[in-house]
A and B are shown apart, each in its own frame.
Chain A
Amino acid sequence: MSLPSKDLMAALAATRFGMGARPGEIDAARSDPKGFLADQVRREGADQPQGDGDSAATRFAAFADYRMERRAMRQEARAIKGEDGMKPIPLVDAKPGRDALQQAQKDAQRYLRDKTSDDFLSRAQLACDTPAGFRERWALFFANHFTVSATRQATAVMIGPFEREAIRPNVFGRFEDLLVASSTHPAMLTYLDQAQSIGPTSRAAGRGNNRRAGLNENLAREILELHTVGVDGGYAQADVTEFARALTGFSIGRAQDPDAGAFLFRTGAHEPGQRTILGARYAEDGEGQGLAVLKALANDRRTARHVCGKLARHFVADEPPPALVARLEKRWMDTGGRLDEVAQALVEAPEAWDPDAAKIKTPYEFVVSTWRAVGGRPEKIEKLNPILTSLNQKPFTPPSPKGWPEEAQAWASPDGLIKRMQWAQGFASAVADTRDPDALARSALGARLSEPTARAVARAETRREAFALLVMSPEFQRR
């Protein structure tokens, strides 16, 4: 397979591998497009967004406070009505306390909402600003591979910390470390209900009337199905259940524990005994048992195949060339799942440089690349939230643990295209009047700019129309 011209490769480097071209980016990549990408791969991981840098533990504590206040409010409300068999408290006596509680509750709500918004905004700003677009896209791929969604309140505030603590530092290290970091992070343990999972015959399960809820298979199932060997990985329900038993005890410290809000192994909740998962036996070893399963799964060839297939689908095509997947998989197996090596293999693979742009940008990619095209970035969450929500990619809210869809079909919906066009018109009215549309078209698309699009932009009646045409053109929508 022969490679396209340097000019075209420079445009592909910025738009297919990266987050879209900022002015000057394609020029910077021109002399050595592969080197431009290879230089972005670094062992220490992806960039960290600016922002408060709160730890998951801090956010966990904030949410626990909020929950306590909410409970106090409810008790107060019952006391005022005289429920719970007590004499009603006259409203006039209860009012000052109630007002203070209400205010505290409002403040807590605002705090939680603002923190989540700030996390998302600072992440989008990084995506718009970074000169290392490939590094950011690589990080976003793994953030989506290990999806944690804000569909649950308690999880929302921990997604930012999850990406900062578990994902970004590990995306160019060994997959094993990334998998362990994700599977022991409080955000994941909350999102997939692991923190409450209790071994049915463990001490914590109790006896008789004190029996507490038992096993929760959610995390075990999703690790197998989504994070490691994949749905065709050859596991059965018994493997899921055994894995769930091995994972019991993986939990989060509560306020009274020494590591509040951090990973905590609860020996008392761990299901004792030897486990058999995918044919391999794991001796009883407390926390070590679950970790041993994770390590074995991370180094399983089926995991390499599953994740490399997803990488190829994400970067190149919904149905990627088998030769590309094989290359990535080989490098993975040769290096013990070193993700920096896999990233280099992707850059080196000729199949990844196919001139035909098969992928449609997700809404996030579209919006970010539009900002990048003008060298700007959003300064308020309101610049992102409405458009992403209306394009079905509400910030931090993928619909299921499977994450955002990958297929072009999912994003090129009729309504989605209309909404993209309307947004592009609005965006154009804010930015286009002071810019030269022909120059923008060249700097955003380089050699990918087609003759019909260049002509349409040149012939547009207004700069606004020209800009909207540029970002709605097939080559800008695709990558």
Chain B
Amino acid sequence: MTAASPSPSRRSFLAAAASLGVAVSFVGRQAHAATGAKKLIVVVCRGGMDGMSVAPPVGDPDYAALRGAIAIKPEEVLKLDGTFGLHPSLTAVHALALKGQARIAPAIATPDRARSHFEAQDVLETGEAKVYGADSGWLNRTLQVMGPGRTEALSVGGTAPLILRGPVQAASWSPGKGVDETARLPTLLQDLYKGDALLGPAFARGLETEAMAQAAMTAMAPAPTTVQGMAPAMNAPAMNAPGGRPADNRQGREAARKLGSTLAGFMRQADGPQIAALSLDGFDTHAGQPGQIATRLAYLDAVLDGLHEGLGPDWKNTVVVAATEFGRTARVNGTGGTDHGTASTALVLGGALKPGGIIGDWPTLKDTALFENRDVAPTLDMRGLFKGVLVDHLGVERTAVERKVFADSAGANAVTGLV
């Protein structure tokens, strides 16, 4: 290890975050990534995040009855307005909301109505009207229409998610041992790969990204000593262990926060990325929902807090959207959970955000208002929110967004006035 290498404990933290199901990916453009450039981070919450837990509509007269034993009480929520609060785990988001830097879209959905994770995530990430509409993700297409420039894509702890896959070539990084820069092997291999059109450039990019990761991590404050030595317990279980629990809440939160601030470190570098995607899984809460979702939302809150803290002065140029493939049933099911539903809540955060109320309308939870008599009815098309962010925040040309990024989305009006 060279002096520039991050400490082993920091690496373990990031590896632990990956094992919690948090994965970061980003795509960026050097040409636009100078300080002051607008930044966009999309957090994909996988598994069907329950919108009614993210922002419980405690002021809606039907909420308590529908949710029964798992309803969150009005005095427990972090209050937003007369109808909505935030889940008690979302303390950092609430602090931002009080400053007008976090808003909710409480009845948002993709155009997909199949209630299948697989299809709905596909639609969320491709930005298409129908499943299998495209092989590329809408963030990748965003980069294509933003024009030429050196582009970067990076994923931490998982395969590059569909949202950023596509013709714009993706680099990737995940927390590993770090490359010993004094060893001869990388140099010798670069030599052997000279004639290989695929391995040569990929390996060179890998070494560059690794160096960048080390710079990003050494820029951060040292890890608190109290959490050292816990990391081994947080390594990924040998296989998909049934009921295997990844670390406890506090350690998990700490790891998630580090991941957020590391990503922020990447983005703040002079040639860092302008656009990032990050995913967090485990939201499929069919049973025992209250405990599970409290943990997942605490991780989400910590990642967002890490981003906020890590971006520092660049926070004012940033918009973060956290969204899921579908929401869950309005009624509690027989196992203290909820089943696959339709609309959910998206969180929109950032220093670039204009203060305001909820984004989109609240359809209410009256029997007659529920979608197919079971789910929160969608009042806002997810693509409308994304289009609004691309046009108004990133300054992507409107017709390119309509034609190339979200083709087939004419029915989904871009949300305006967000920034």
Give residues in A with beta carbon < 8 Å to B. 63, 66, 70, 74, 83, 105, 108-109, 112-113, 116-117, 120, 150-151, 153, 156, 218, 231, 360, 381-382, 385-386, 389-390, 392, 395-397, 399-401, 408-410, 412-419, 421-422, 425, 452-453, 456, 460-461, 465, 468-469, 472-474, 477
Q: Is B391 an interface residue (CB 8 A)?
A: no
Q: Are A469 and B189 in contact (CB under 8 A)?
A: yes
The residue that B238 contacts in the complex, of A381, A410, A473, with Cβ under 8 A, is A381
Closest-by-CB residue of B relative to A408 is B198
Asked if A421 and B185 sit within 8 Å, CB to CB, the answer is yes
Q: Is the CB of A456 within 8 A of B192?
A: yes
In the complex with contacts A412-B199, A468-B185, A419-B239 CB distance below 8 A: no
Per-position 1/0 for B189-211, Cβ under 8 A of A: 10111011011001111111110
Q: A66-B242, A414-B171 are in contact. Are A422 and B192 (CB under 8 A)?
A: no
Spell out B's residues near A (CB within 8 Å).
Answer: 69, 116, 118, 132, 154-155, 158-160, 170-174, 176-177, 179, 183-186, 188-189, 191-193, 195-196, 198-199, 202-210, 236-244, 287-288, 336
**Partner pick for A109 among B174, B241, B287, CB 8 A cutoff:** B241
Is B239 a contact of A401 with CB atoms below 8 Å?
no
The CA of A414 and the CA of B179, in the complex, are separated in Å by: 13
Would you call A153 and B185 a contact (CB within 8 A)? no
Q: Which residue of A is nearest B203, CB measured?
A: A417
Q: Bound state CA distance, A109 and B238, in angstroms? A: 12
User: Are the CB atoms of B174 and A70 closer together than 8 Å?
Assistant: no
Q: List 18 A-B contacts (CB under 8 A).
A: A63-B242, A83-B69, A113-B244, A156-B239, A156-B242, A231-B132, A382-B238, A396-B239, A412-B198, A413-B172, A413-B202, A414-B209, A415-B174, A416-B172, A417-B206, A422-B176, A452-B192, A473-B192
B241 near A113 (CB under 8 angstroms)?
A: yes
Contact A113 B188, beta carbon cutoff 8 Å? no
CB-CB nearest in chain A for B235: A386
Are B184 and A465 in contact (CB-based, < 8 A)? yes
Whether A425 pairs with B118 at a CB distance below 8 angstroms is no
Q: How far is the CB of A117 from chain B (nearest CB, A)?
A: 5
Contacts of B198 in A (CB 8 A): 360, 408-409, 412
Q: Are A117 and B239 in contact (CB under 8 A)?
A: yes
Report which of B185, B210, B239 forms a contact with A469, defined as CB distance below 8 A.
Answer: B185
Q: Which residue of A lies closest to B121 (CB)?
A: A400
User: Are A418 and B206 touching (Cβ within 8 A)?
Assistant: yes
User: Which partner residue on chain B sits nearest A112 by CB separation?
Assistant: B242
Residues of B within 8 A of A108 (CB): 242
Closest beta carbon of chain A to B361's beta carbon, Å: 30
For residue A477, which residues in chain B have a CB less than 8 angstroms away from its CB?
199
Across the interface, which residues of B come within 8 angstroms of A419, CB to CB?
A: 174, 176
CB-based nearest B residue for A193: B116
Q: Give Cα distance in the complex from A472 to B189, angstroms.
A: 7
Which residues does chain A contribute within 8 Å of B118, judged by CB atoms?
400-401
User: Nearest chain A CB to B292's CB is how many angstroms away?
Assistant: 13
A392 x B184 contact (CB < 8 A) = no
User: Chain A residues near B196 (CB, 8 Å)?
Assistant: 474
Q: Verify A392–B158 contact, CB threshold 8 A.
A: yes
**Residue from B192, B205, B210, B239 within 8 A of A453 (CB atoms):** B192
Q: Per DSSP, are chain A's interface residues mostly helix, strand or loop, or mixed?
A: helix
Docked complex Cα distance between A397 and B288 (Å): 25
Q: In whole angstroms, what is the CA distance A218 to B160 when docked?
A: 24
Pairwise interchain contact B189-A414, C-beta atoms closer than 8 A: no
What is the bound-complex CA distance between A419 and B238, given in angstroms? 19
Q: Could you say which residues of chain A place their CB within 8 Å of the CB of B195?
A: 474
Residue of A nearest to B196 (CB): A474
Whether the Cβ atoms of B172 and A70 lie closer than 8 Å is: no
Contact check, B238 vs A117: say whether CB atoms are below 8 A apart.
Answer: yes
Alpha-carbon distance between A409 and B239 when the two chains are bound, in angstroms: 26
CB pair A415 B173 closer than 8 Å: yes
Using A109-B243, A117-B239 as known contacts, say yes or no to A421 and B174 having CB atoms under 8 A apart. no
> What is the bound-complex CA distance between A465 and B171, given in angstroms?
26
* 6 pairs of A and B residues whose beta carbons are closest in the complex: A414-B206, A415-B172, A414-B205, A418-B206, A113-B241, A392-B159
Q: Which residue of B lies closest to A110 (CB)?
A: B241
- How distant is the Cα of A205 from the Cα of B186 in the complex, in angstroms? 63
Question: Chain A's nearest CB lies how many Å from the CB of B30?
Answer: 16
Rounded to whole Å, the gap between the CB of A387 and the closest CB of chain B is 10
Given known pairs A399-B159, A414-B209, the reply for A113 and B238 (CB within 8 Å) is: yes
Q: A415-B171, A417-B199 are contacts. A156–B240 as well, Cβ < 8 Å?
A: yes
The reply to whether B240 and A116 form a contact with Cβ atoms under 8 Å apart is: yes
- Contacts A408-B198, A414-B209 known; A422 to B238 CB distance under 8 Å? no
Complex alpha-carbon distance, A421 and B202, angstroms: 13
Q: Is the CB of A385 within 8 A of B288?
A: no
Question: Which residue of chain B has the shortest Cβ distance to A157 in the bound complex?
Answer: B242
The residue in chain B whose Cβ has the minimal distance to the Cβ of A149 is B240
Please measure, in the bound complex, the distance between the C-alpha atom of A389 and the C-alpha atom of B177, giving whole angstroms. Answer: 15
A150–B287 alpha-carbon span in the complex (Å): 19
How distant is B201 from chain A, measured CB to nearest CB, in Å?
8
Query: Which residues of B are found within 8 Å of A381, using beta-carbon distances?
Result: 238-239
Whole-angstrom distance between the alpha carbons of A60 and B64 in the complex? 38
Contacts of A401 in B (CB 8 A): 118
The answer to whether A385 touches B239 (Cβ under 8 A) is: yes
Residue with the highest number of chain A CB atoms closer than 10 Å, among B179, B193, B203: B203
Q: Counting chain A CB atoms within 10 Å of each CB, which of B186, B193, B198, B288 scores highest?
A: B198
Q: Given A408-B198, A418-B179, A474-B192 in contact, is the A150-B243 Cβ separation under 8 Å?
A: no
Beyond A468-B185, A469-B188, A469-B192, whether A415 also contacts B209 by CB under 8 A is: yes
Nearest CB of chain A from residue B193's CB, rounded to whole Å: 6
Task: Give the CA-CA distance A399 to B239 in the complex, in Å.
Answer: 15
* Identity of the chain A residue whose Cβ is nearest the Cβ of B177 in the assembled complex: A422
| Most chain B C-beta atoms within 10 Å of own C-beta, residue among A70, A108, A414, A419 | A414
A393 (CB) vs chain B CBs: closest residue: B159
What is the distance, in angstroms, from A122's C-beta to the closest C-beta of chain B?
14
Task: Give the Cβ gap from A183 to chain B, nearest Cβ, in Å.
Answer: 18
- The one of A151, A418, A460 in contact with B207, judged by C-beta atoms closer than 8 angstroms, is A418
A474 to B, closest residue via Cβ = B196
In the complex, given contacts A360-B199, A397-B240, A421-B186, what are 6 additional A-B residue pairs having Cβ atoms less than 8 angstroms apart? Answer: A385-B236, A392-B158, A396-B239, A414-B202, A418-B176, A472-B192
For A231, give the chain B residue with the smallest CB separation.
B132
Report the Cα distance A55→B26, complex, angstroms: 43
- Name A77's closest neighbour in chain B (CB-CB): B288
Complex-state Cα separation, A399 to B192, whole angstroms: 32
A397: chain B residues at CB < 8 Å are: 240
Task: Determine the chain B residues whose CB is within 8 A of the CB of A452 once the complex forms.
Answer: 191-192
Q: Which of B154, B173, B199, B242 contacts A474 (CB 8 A)?
A: B199
Residue of B nearest to A477 (CB): B199
Asked whether B155 lies within 8 Å of A415 as measured between CB atoms, the reply is yes
Distance in Å: Cβ of A423 to nearest Cβ of chain B? 9
Q: Is the CB of B202 within 8 A of A150?
A: no
How far does the alpha carbon of A193 sit from the alpha carbon of B204 in the complex, in Å? Answer: 43
CB-nearest residue of chain B to A225? B132
Chain A's closest residue to B118 (CB) is A400
Q: Are B192 and A116 in contact (CB under 8 A)?
A: no
Residue on B nearest A108 in the bound complex, by CB? B242
Contact of B202 with A417 in the complex, beta carbons under 8 Å: yes
A113 and B237 in contact, given A422-B176, A472-B189 (Cβ under 8 angstroms)? yes
| Minimum CB–CB distance for B204 against chain A, Å | 8
Complex: chain A residue closest to B281, CB-CB: A151
C-alpha spacing A469/B193, complex, angstroms: 11
Cα distance, A161 to B325, chains bound together (Å): 32
Separation in Å of the B263 CB from the closest CB of chain A? 15
Nearest CB of B to A123, in Å: 13
Asked if A425 and B69 make an inter-chain contact with CB atoms under 8 angstroms apart, the answer reads: no
CB-CB nearest in chain B for A84: B69
B193's partner among A63, A156, A460, A474 (CB-CB below 8 A) is: A474
Complex CA–CA separation, A63 to B240 (angstroms): 14
- Specify which chain B residues have a CB less than 8 angstroms from the CB of A417 in the assembled complex: 199, 202-203, 206
Knowing A360-B198, A469-B189, A474-B193, say if A150 contacts B206 (CB, 8 Å). Answer: no
A151 CB to closest chain B CB (Å) equals: 8
Inter-chain CA distance A477–B191, complex, in Å, is 15
